[in-house]
């Protein structure tokens, strides 16, 4: 069961907790156990998209200015993007949320 | 016209499943259940039953195939026993939690080791908490009748739970008994087509057995528990309807000569018939003894059970399974817990007997009753008594 943030009372669950809406796992906030988060110095970014390719979550998207940025709803804070970025755009900091 | 025929009980179960018009049978043969699925395989191969017979490679696969079959809305049957039931253990929980109406006959068998193909209730007790509805039967007619009831209960929109029909291995599965088979039209009327409400179908995809984080899991489990408890009402209604249509009546706790009985014996399964003969004999001698049997094991029939034993002074429970290092018989342990809070209750004495197919004879039951009365009066140091084991 994934939706919405599992706040349904037991009576409202479908029989057998069956999920009747395909793809609703997208509504499940998987980024809530992150211990680090990404920060960006976009001035150094060359928009090579390597971070997007390496992100195991597939949670990096281009923002309005075309820079590649993690979606914190899903980002696990693994730091792979920071390690792979060739120009040092990304710095991992402790998650304090 | 109903017909009464002499038939091996296992074969009769196959015939009942045919009359119930099952769509899918996925099973792996294991003694003493083999004849059930062997007969079904024959019926399907001979074109007498229009169903898919899936010969799987293990019981784990058998139950897994049953999940898939029930999930698309097919009427699904399987059967197993002993080690086979153990091998499908983890999938049993999935069937009940996903609310899939599978019906399974279990030819109750002892568990290894030492290897025993003979009957007792060790296998049943190990699957007690799997969330299945569980019915006990005592003779061939009861198994056949309860196969029909099991499908109707399982598939009822208000229930949607898998059902086990228990029968004692060999003592029941392999005996030839006179059995009345109803006309197809009567069965069809009693057992409407299966209409599973959320079947797997490409036109309307659903996800079954999805994962649940801590924020949802307790709700899912509570919903399951509420549903299993509520199923008792539907089980009772189904047996009533069955009684009306077929003239044979079933209840969750069956009582035999319990009026004014001071001493009650409690049994489950086919040994109850031997116990009845002993009750008849003792009644003939003027002794106030009676017999109660659990027909419905899950959901546990608390009310009916308390009602059935409330006026007795002594209740002697005979278990055919052993809870190692625990309170003795698993049934007795539940009985004690069901009665603990009652103001008026009998003294409960626990016996474990009949393990691994060992008979409990009439003389055996008589000894159990006499010894049970003695223990209830004088007390005992033991949590339970083991009966019939050589010193
Ligand atoms: S920290 Fe890990 S999960 Fe988050 S954006 Fe970077 S690579 Fe993806
Ligand atoms: S890897 Fe670094 S430079 Fe390349 S797009 Fe990502 S943030 Fe920009």
> How many cross-chain Cβ pairs, A to B, lie less than 8 Å apart?
66
Q: How many CB atoms lie within 10 A of CB A71?
A: 13
CB B78 within 8 A of CB B144: no
Q: How many CB atoms lie within 10 A of CB B178?
A: 11
Average pLDDT value for residue range B243-266: 97
Is B154:B104 a contact under the CB 8 Å cutoff?
no
Q: pLDDT tens digits for A9-52?
A: 999 999 999 999 888 888 888 899 999 999 999 999 999 999 99
Q: Is residue A37 part of a domain?
A: yes
Give residue B347's pLDDT band: very low, low, confident or very high (50, 70, 90): very high
Q: Which residues line ligand 2 (CB under 6 A)?
A: A 45-51, 68, 85, 87, 89-90
The residue length of chain B stands at 391
Share of chain B above pLDDT 90, in %: 97
Number of domain units in chain A: 1
Q: Answer whether residue A50 is part of any domain.
A: yes
Does residue A2 sit within a domain? no
pLDDT at B1 over 90: no
Rounded CA-CA distance B320/B318 in Å is 7
What's the mean pLDDT when you consider all of chain B? 97
The closest-lying atom of ligand 2 relative to the alpha carbon of residue A81 is 1
Number of the ligand 2 atom closest to the C-alpha atom of A52: 6
Contacts B208 to A, Cβ<8 Å? 16, 18-19
A43 part of contact set with chain B, CB < 8 Å: no
Whether A5 maps to a domain, the answer reads no
Q: Could you tell me how many helices (H) and strands (E) chain A has, helices first?
A: 2, 4
Closest-CA distance of chain A to residue B94, Å: 9
**Atom of ligand 2 minimally distant from the CA of A84:** 1
* 8 A C-beta contact, residue A86 and residue A46: yes
Q: In chain A, at which residue ranges do the beta strands (DSSP E only) sit?
A: 36-40, 60-62, 68-70, 90-94
Question: B385: part of which helix (H) or strand (E)?
Answer: strand B385-386
Average pLDDT value for residue range B74-84 = 98
CATH level 3 topology of B253-386: Rossmann fold (3.40.50)
Give the tokens for residue A89: 């755009």
Is A42 inside any structural domain? yes
Smallest Cβ–Cβ distance between B206 and the set A6, A7, A18 belongs to: A18
A1, pLDDT greater than 60: no
pTM for the complete prediction? Answer: 0.91
Instruction: Write the CA distances from B225 to A81, B104, B129, B132, B231, integer angstroms.
Output: 45, 20, 11, 11, 10
What distance in Å separates the CA atoms of residue A28 and residue B209, rounded to the nearest whole number?
16
**Spatial contact of B329 and B352, defined as CB atoms under 8 Å apart:** yes
Question: Minimum mean pLDDT among A68-72, A93-97, B92-96, B233-237: which range?
Answer: A93-97
Task: Label residue B260 left, alpha or beta by phi (over 0 means left) and psi (-120 to 50 means alpha).
Answer: left
pLDDT attached to residue B327:
87
Instruction: For residue B161, give the nearest of B135, B138, B139, B142 by alpha carbon.
Output: B135
Prior bond of B113 cis (ω within 30°)? yes
Of B197, B205, B215, which is closest to A15 when you measure between CB atoms? B197
Mean pLDDT for B30-49 is 98
Burial A25-57 (b: 16+ CB within 10 A, else e): eeebebbeebebbbebeeeebeeeebbbeebeb
DSSP assignment letter at B178: E
Domain CATH code at residue A75: 3.30.70.20
Contact list, B197 vs chain A (CB under 8 Å): 15
Name the residue facing B223 among A5, A7, A13 (closest C-beta). A13
Burial of B286 (0-12, 13-18, 19+ CB in 10 A): exposed
The pLDDT confidence band at residue A2, using thresholds 50, 70 and 90, is very low
φ, ψ at B47 (rounded to 5°): 75, 10
Of the residues A40, A42, A46, which should be mutated to test ligand 2's pocket, given the most ligand atoms within 8 Å of the CB? A46
**Which residues contact residue B347 at a Cβ distance below 8 angstroms, ignoring those fewer than 6 apart?**
B313, B314, B315, B376
Please give the structure tokens belonging to residue B96: 């009940």
Question: Ligand 2 pocket check: which of A53, A83, A87 to mutate, most ligand atoms within 8 Å of Cβ?
Answer: A87
In angstroms, the CA A1 to CA A8 distance is: 10
Q: What pLDDT sits at residue B7?
A: 98
Residue A4: predicted pLDDT: 58
Q: What is the average per-residue pLDDT within B56-79? A: 98
Check if A64 contacts B (Cβ < 8 Å): no
- For residue B113, CA distances in Å to B32, B80, B83, B108, B320 come to 16, 18, 10, 16, 16
C-alpha neighbours within 13 Å on the C-beta side of residue B298: 22
Residue B215 banded pLDDT, cuts 50, 70, 90: confident
pLDDT band at A57 (very low <50, low <70, confident <90, very high): very high
Q: Is the CB of A52 under 6 A from ligand 1?
A: no
User: How far does the CA of residue A87 sit from the closest CA of chain B (Å)?
Assistant: 38
pLDDT interval class at B204 (50, 70, 90)? very high
Q: How many angstroms does the Cα of residue A81 sit away from the middle of ligand 1?
A: 5
Ligand 1 center to A67 CA (angstroms):
15
Averaged pLDDT for residues A60-80: 97
Q: Is A80 in the pocket of ligand 1 (CB under 6 A)?
A: yes
ipTM: 0.82
Q: From CA A18, how far away is CA A3, in angstroms rounded?
A: 11
- For residue A5, what pLDDT band results from cuts at 50, 70 and 90? very low
Q: Are strands B3-8 and B176-181 parallel, antiparallel or unpaired?
A: antiparallel
How many angstroms separate the alpha carbon of residue A45 from the centre of ligand 2? Answer: 5
Interface probe for B, chosen from A1, A2, A10, A16 (most Cβ of B below 10 Å), is A16
What would you report as the CA-atom Rg of chain B, rounded to the nearest whole angstrom? 21
CA distances B232 to A4, B156, B210, B292, B293, Å, are 32, 12, 27, 19, 17
What's the mean pLDDT in B147-162?
A: 98
Q: Is residue A23 part of a domain?
A: no
Contact B78, B29 (CB under 8 A): no
Structural domain span for residue A82: 30-94
Closest CA to A92 of A39, A46, A34: A39
Q: Is the CB of A77 under 6 A from ligand 1?
A: yes
CATH code of the region B3-246 = 3.40.50.970
| Radius of gyration of the CA atoms of chain A, in A | 17
Q: Ligand 2: which atom is nearest the Cα of residue A54?
A: 1
Tell me the C-alpha distance between B193 and B185, whole Å.
13
Backbone angles phi, psi at B34, to 5 degrees: -50, -45
- Cα separation, A32 vs A35, in Å, equals 9
Give the residue extent of every domain in chain B.
3-246, 253-386
Report CA torsion sign: B24, B28, B33, B37.
positive
Q: Which two tokens stand for residue B355?
A: 């393990």
A22: exposed, middle or buried (Cβ count in 10 Å: 0-12, 13-18, 19+) = exposed
User: CB–CB of A1/A16 below 8 Å?
Assistant: no
Query: Considering only CA atoms, which residue is closest to atom 7 of ligand 1?
Result: A55
Q: What three-state secondary structure class fits B173?
A: coil
């Amino acid at each position: 069961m994934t939706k919405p943030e599992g706040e349904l009372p037991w009576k409202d669950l479908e029989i057998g907790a069956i999920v009747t809406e395909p793809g609703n796992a997208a509504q499940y906030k998987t980024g809530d156990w992150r211990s680090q988060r990404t920060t960006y110095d976009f001035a150094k970014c060359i928009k090579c998209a390597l971070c997007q390719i390496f992100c195991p979550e597939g949670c990096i998207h281009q923002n309005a200015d075309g820079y590649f940025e993690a979606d914190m709803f899903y980002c696990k804070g693994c730091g792979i993007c920071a390690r792979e970025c060739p120009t040092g755009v990304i710095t991992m900091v402790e998650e304090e949320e | 016209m109903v017909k009464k025929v002499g038939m091996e009980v296992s074969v009769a179960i196959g015939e009942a499943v045919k009359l119930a018009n099952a769509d899918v049978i996925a099973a792996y043969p294991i003694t003493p259940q083999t004849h059930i699925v062997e007969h079904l395989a024959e019926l399907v191969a001979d074109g007498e039953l229009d169903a898919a017979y899936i010969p799987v490679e293990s019981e784990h696969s058998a139950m897994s195939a049953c999940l898939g079959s029930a999930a698309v809305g097919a009427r699904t049957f399987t059967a197993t026993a002993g080690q086979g039931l153990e091998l499908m253990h983890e999938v049993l929980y999935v069937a009940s939690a996903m609310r899939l109406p599978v019906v399974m006959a279990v030819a109750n068998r002892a568990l290894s080791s030492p290897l025993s193909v003979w009957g007792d209730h060790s296998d049943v007790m190990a699957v007690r908490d799997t969330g299945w509805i569980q019915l006990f039967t005592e003779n061939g007619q009861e198994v056949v009748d309860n196969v029909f009831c099991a499908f109707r209960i399982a598939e009822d929109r208000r229930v949607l739970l898998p059902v086990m029909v228990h029968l004692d291995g060999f003592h029941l599965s392999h005996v030839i008994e006179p059995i009345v088979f109803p006309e197809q039209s009567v069965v069809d009327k009693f057992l409407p087509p299966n209409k599973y409400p959320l079947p797997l179908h490409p036109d309307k995809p659903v996800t079954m057995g999805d994962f649940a984080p801590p924020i949802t899991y307790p709700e899912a489990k509570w919903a399951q528990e509420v549903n299993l408890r509520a199923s008792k009402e539907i089980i009772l209604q189904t047996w009533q309807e069955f009684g009306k249509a077929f003239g044979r009546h079933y209840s969750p706790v069956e009582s035999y000569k319990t009026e004014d009985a001071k001493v009650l014996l409690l049994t489950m399964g086919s040994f109850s018939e031997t116990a009845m003969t002993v009750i008849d004999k003792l009644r003939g001698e003027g002794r106030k003894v009676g017999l109660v049997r659990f027909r419905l094991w899950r959901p546990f029939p608390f009310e009916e059970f308390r009602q059935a034993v409330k006026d007795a002074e002594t209740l002697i429970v005979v278990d055919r399974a052993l809870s190692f290092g625990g309170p003795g018989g698993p049934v007795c342990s539940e009985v004690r817990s069901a009665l603990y809070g009652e103001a008026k209750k009998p003294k409960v004495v626990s016996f474990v007997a009949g393990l691994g197919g060992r008979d409990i004879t009439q003389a055996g039951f008589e000894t159990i009753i006499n010894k049970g009365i003695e223990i209830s009066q004088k007390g005992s140091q033991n949590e339970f008594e083991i009966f019939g084991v050589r010193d």
